[in-house]
Amino acid sequence: MEATLPVLDAKTAALKRRSIRRYRKDPVPEGLLREVLEAALRAPSAWNLQPWRIVVVRDPATKRALREAAFGQAHVEEAPVVLVLYADLEDALAHLDEVIHPGVQGERREAQKQAIQRAFAAMGQEARKAWASGQSYILLGYLLLLLEAYGLGSVPMLGFDPERVKAILGLPSHAAVPALVALGYPAEEGYPSHRLPLERVVLWR
């Protein structure tokens, strides 16, 4: 679908973005959410495994339950939409033919599948969950930038009980839940970004 409003370029969105915790009541059109999500899903991942999964929560009762799982953070319930970002590496590994490029065929394809399976065979479940979570944070960065570009405010959250979130949504017990993201049309400006200067964090060699 065509964008429903002017879309900011990546640099402008990055410089403009800030965390928003108060939202207007206006619903976010499903078509707009789909457009943002489809673009965010272009995020890269190792071996192209794409272990991330997203639950789009708009139901008031479910948001209320998630608020309790997020230690009472009001914006979880009050935002029009909450995205639950979870990682399911087991599902990705069970469906390797979905993610290996169709241009890779024959012996090369089988060799790639075997290499991927070997890489994770020695990992314990917690290590696999941590790996998949790390990949999912790449998607999270894309997602936050795109939401800003499309005129939507957002705030990522790490403060929640992942086991309760999984129980509320019926997610697999082996899944990891890296983040919740509340989003909607902003009802506040939020605090201006306060970031370390380039010279503080970048080394040149």
Which whole number is the average pLDDT over 95-103? 96
The model scores a pTM over 0.85:
yes
Which has the closest alpha carbon to 146: 5, 2, 14? 14
User: Torsion angle of alpha carbons 104, 107, 108, 112, nearest 10°?
Assistant: 110
Q: Where are the domains of the chain?
A: 10-188
- Does residue 119 carry a pLDDT above 50? yes
Is the pLDDT assigned to residue 5 strictly greater than 70? no
pLDDT in tens, 174-203: 999 999 999 999 999 999 989 999 999 999
The pLDDT assigned to 6 comes to 73
CA distance linking residue 54 with residue 84, whole number of Å: 6
Superfamily of domain 10-188: NADH Oxidase (3.40.109.10)
Using CA atoms, how far apart are residues 44 and 30, in angstroms rounded to an integer?
A: 24
Asked if residue 148 has pLDDT above 50, the reply is yes
